[in-house]
Amino acid sequence: MIFKFGEDMRNLFRNLKWVDRLVSSLEKKDFNKIVNAEKKRFRADSSFVESNQDKIDELRKNGVIFLPSYFNFEPAEIEDFRNMMRSKGKESDSFQTFYPDPIPLSLKKLFDDKYIENIIDHSRGYKSPKKVLRLYHSSHIAGETGSFLWHHDGLFDYYKVLVYLTEVNMENGPLGYCLGSNNNDWKYYSYERSRFNEEEIKHYQTKYFLGKPGDIIIINANGIHKAMNPLLNFDRLVASLAFIDFNSNQSTDHLYASENKLSYLSN
């Protein structure tokens, strides 16, 4: 991949506007080759489309859909997830993250779910070559940064499924999304140019997703979104399934998958 050197150096150079534009255009060119090939291979399921046209259209138009009570997790399973984060989670950006490998049986139902996969595939018209699963835990930080700022995750249609594992209200950090922002054609992808302040997103309708354990949110992470900063003494635990198309340096999921070669990616 382009600019294969240390993460700090890569970010330093990419934050130069002309470098960012050059690298972004080259990555988009590479990505389009992959997507065009995948689109030629894809065969839509007409009966699935007919039954789920509303969800497909909503995901295309707004960039996000919410499916309440989709999964059911036992309290013991939630506690297992918390224990994983305590023992194996690592600080990443503005939260603690962990990529389980192999995938726990309690999360296989998320990884193997065909309905979710079909909604995403039919929304964009091609199938994701790979998927990457992670857990992340967010708690209050004094200075908001990273994922607690409005941002987009790359230059492409990069889809994620978020599963709330704790009850989520306005106190403990719900997902916020700028509806329709997924339809932007981003020209740059440096850290500073993929972050936005409140003034820059005021023309969008923003929506915050409150929920309970087992509720899921499917998002096009190319749209502008953020995790709200939990208040003191509140936290949020989430499982995330990323649908990977392109092994670039543009997101932690893509980067982790390409560098660490998760065992389930080779199956």
- Say which amino acid occupies 117: E
What pLDDT sits at residue 215? 98
Q: Which two tokens stand for residue 105?
A: 């049986």
Residue 99: beta bridge partners?
none
What is d(CA 121, CA 115) in angstroms, rounded to the nearest whole number? 10
What pLDDT sits at residue 187? 92
Query: Is 204 a domain residue?
Result: yes
**103 backbone dihedrals φ, ψ, rounded to 5°:** -75, 130
Whether the per-residue pLDDT at 267 is higher than 60: the answer is no
Query: Is 202 a domain residue?
Result: yes
Contact (CB, 8 A) for 190 and 11: yes
% of the chain with per-residue pLDDT over 70: 93
What is d(CA 213, CA 70) in angstroms, rounded to the nearest whole number? 9
What pLDDT sits at residue 6? 53
Task: Give 195-204 pLDDT, tens digit per residue.
Answer: 999 999 999 9
Query: Is 245 a domain residue?
Result: yes
- pTM of the full structure: 0.92
Task: Give 92-105 pLDDT, tens digit per residue.
Answer: 777 899 999 999 99
Antiparallel, parallel or unpaired: β 216-220 and 195-196: unpaired
In the structure, what pLDDT confidence band is assigned to residue 2 with cuts at 50, 70 and 90? very low
Query: Is 1 a domain residue?
Result: no
What is d(CA 85, CA 238) in angstroms, rounded to the nearest whole number? 11
* Domain count within the chain: 1
Mean pLDDT, rounded, for 39-60:
96
Eight-state DSSP code of residue 131: E
Distance from the Cα of residue 13 to its chain's centroid: 25
Whether the per-residue pLDDT at 247 is higher than 90: the answer is no
Computed over every residue of the chain, the mean pLDDT equals: 89
Longest dimension (CA), the chain: 51
In the structure, what pLDDT confidence band is assigned to residue 4 with cuts at 50, 70 and 90? very low
In terms of C-beta density within 10 A (0-12 exposed, 13-18 middle, 19 or more buried), how is residue 172 classed? Answer: buried
In the structure, what pLDDT confidence band is assigned to residue 157 with cuts at 50, 70 and 90? confident
Query: Is 2 a domain residue?
Result: no
Q: Is 219 helix (H, G, I), strand (E, B) or coil?
A: strand
Closest alpha carbon to 221 in 257, 256, 176 = 176
Which CATH number is 45's domain given? 2.60.120.620
- Say which amino acid occupies 143: G
Mean pLDDT, rounded, for 231-254:
83
Residues spanned by the domain of 116 = 7-266
Cis peptide before 102 (omega within 30 of 0): yes
Whether the per-residue pLDDT at 5 is higher than 70: the answer is no
Mean pLDDT, rounded, for 240-266:
79
Task: Give 58-91 pLDDT, tens digit per residue.
Answer: 999 999 999 999 999 999 999 999 999 999 999 8
What is d(CA 213, CA 17) in angstroms, rounded to the nearest whole number? 42
